[in-house]
Structure 1
Amino acid sequence: MVEVLVEGVAGVGRTAGAVTLTAVTKTYPASDVLLLAGLGVTDVGENRDQEAAPKAAEVRAAGVGLRWHYIGQLQRNKARSVAAYADVVESVDSERLAAALNKAAANRERPLDVLIQVSIDEDPERGGAAGDDLWRISDAVASSDGLRLCGLMAVAPLGWEPDRAFARLAELRSRLVAAHPGATTLSAGMSGDLEAAIRHGATHVRIGTSLLGMRNLLR
């Protein structure tokens, strides 16, 4: 997978350091996270607070510092817990969630980094911000004392060609950066479509299966 990532970056004329691999470690134990850290992984992603919180604590107790990304749908009542260990929340899709995270981040030493999750196809069933909501949420995050607006995150919709999906996302990122010049992060692309995401400017790709294999969902 590292080789594929490097090839995908080189193929569009970008340097190897331009794209960060976020290892998605949901359902895998802290021991696997520590193994990945030993291999040079610096960023990990989790999507369930009840699993991520103790895992992050165990990894930190082992003396290993990683950058923790919360990438799953987040309920407001979990904001305080997530803000205690996450470095980045990639799934902010409402002003109410942004407000809850801002309140939860009040006691942090530094602001909590935030990505706005985008609904590329604007399907309300899939989650993510769409239309004017995207710009209202981004402005709300940018004006929050406890949050730092870093950019956008999205998943290519089912039935869409990845290049079409990520080209649309790149357009939205350009509009966001015009309003908020520091919000340059673009988290897009997973094991099956990372090359297309990189072609369209992804700065982070979220890789799970290709690193750790098929998950046992009964764990």
Structure 2
Amino acid sequence: MTDSQSGVASAGTGHGEIASALAAVREQIAQAARDAGRKPETVTLVAVSKFHPLEAVEAALAAGQRVFGENRVQEAMSKFPQLRERYPDLRLHLIGGLQTNKARDAVRIADMIESLDRAPLSDALLRAADQEGRLPDLLIEVNTGDEPQKFGVPREEADAFIRASVARFGSKLRGLMCIPPAGEDPCPHFRFLTALADEHGLSVRSMGMSADFPQAIAEGATLVRVGTAIFGHRPAGLAGT
């Protein structure tokens, strides 16, 4: 999918451009769902606002978007508490690798954490939940390509980690997430994640980004994480982060 096909806007995207891009992405999601014999409402758009300013999030909110994804806890804390006062139905997903020392802040601010991937993080999240009196919904990130530089549970360890996490978190463990290797056909990775989720009775599959979300929907995605196609490219100086 090219930038023009996906509705990608340039850096510095304004309110009107964000609204138009959102409309284009929503229509592509709906069409991909229909093509797969699914109802469009079975797929939720997570607008990935990482590295984009508060004003960009406000533009998306004004256009009706309510579910957002951020990589960094500190950046999320700088944007979203003030927005919740005006938009109480806003939902925030933390989608980046999470350090254990950020667990309490993550539990405090997030509605869903998509990057559970190791036992020490499980421990930290449980301690934080006790301290905060709340626990967000959780997804396990699976490293479907077994890439050493990436977060996520390796394939061969995924079954055991999922079972242990269901035992620890119960219904708060909602599903799985993956980021396929760049430059590879993502569909085998999407199919693996869907089959793994089905095997464990988990209903949420977070997979697919700006370049491949239609394929992810065809393979069973229930959440798609789209940033560039809505907000434009990352601001200068952050493209490699």
Normalising by structure 1, report the TM-score: 0.90
Unaligned 5+ residue runs, structure 1? 178-182
**How do 1:6-17 residues align onto structure 2 when only pairs under 5 Å count?**
6-17=30-41
Residue type of the alignment partner of 1:37: L
- Shift in Å, 1:147: 7.5
CA distance in 2, matches of 1:91, 1:213: 24
Residue 63 of structure 2 corresponds to residue 39 of structure 1: yes
Moved more, 44-53 or 159-168: 159-168
Residue type of the alignment partner of 1:86: A
Residue type of the alignment partner of 2:136: L
Residue 177 of structure 2 corresponds to residue 153 of structure 1: yes
Secondary structure of the equivalent of 1:118? strand
Q: Work out which of the residue numbers 26, 47, 56 in structure 1 matches 2:50.
A: 26
Q: Which residue of 2 aligns with 1:200?
A: 219
Residue type of the alignment partner of 2:211: G
Residue 164 of structure 2 corresponds to residue 140 of structure 1: yes
CA distance in 2, matches of 1:128, 1:32: 29
Residue 239 of structure 2 corresponds to residue 215 of structure 1: no
- Shift in Å, 1:108: 4.4
Distance change in 2, residues 1:111/1:193 (3 Å): same
Residue 133 of structure 2 corresponds to residue 114 of structure 1: no
Identity of aligned residues (%): 36
Residue type of the alignment partner of 1:88: M
Residue 86 of structure 2 corresponds to residue 62 of structure 1: yes
CA displacement 1:38-68 (0-9 Å, x = unmatched)? 2121210000111111211121233443111
Q: Contact (CA 8 Å) 2:142, 2:178: kept in 1 or not?
A: yes
Q: Which residue of 2 aligns with 1:180?
A: none
Residue type of the alignment partner of 1:164: P
**How do 1:182-201 residues align onto structure 2 when only pairs under 5 Å count?**
183-201=202-220
Secondary structure of the equivalent of 1:79? helix
CA displacement 1:138-159 (0-9 Å, x = unmatched)? 2333233598100000011123
- Shift in Å, 1:119: 0.9
Residue type of the alignment partner of 1:38: A
CA distance in 2, matches of 1:118, 1:151: 10
Q: Which residue of 2 aligns with 1:103?
A: 127
- Shift in Å, 1:137: 2.6
CA distance in 2, matches of 1:10, 1:45: 25
Q: Contact (CA 8 Å) 1:23, 1:211: kept in 2 or not?
A: yes
Q: Contact (CA 8 Å) 1:103, 1:146: kept in 2 or not?
A: no
Distance change in 2, residues 1:217/1:128 (3 Å): farther
CA distance in 2, matches of 1:29, 1:144: 36
CA distance in 2, matches of 1:64, 1:31: 18
Q: Which residue of 1 aligns with 2:190?
A: 166
Unaligned 5+ residue runs, structure 2? 1-24
CA displacement 1:141-187 (0-9 Å, x = unmatched)? 3233598100000011123212222112222122221xxxxx21000
CA displacement 1:107-162 (0-9 Å, x = unmatched)? 44543211000011222322210244323332333233598100000011123212
Normalising by structure 2, report the TM-score: 0.82
Secondary structure of the equivalent of 1:103? helix
Q: Contact (CA 8 Å) 2:118, 2:153: kept in 1 or not?
A: yes
Q: Contact (CA 8 Å) 2:42, 2:222: kept in 1 or not?
A: yes
CA distance in 2, matches of 1:29, 1:65: 20
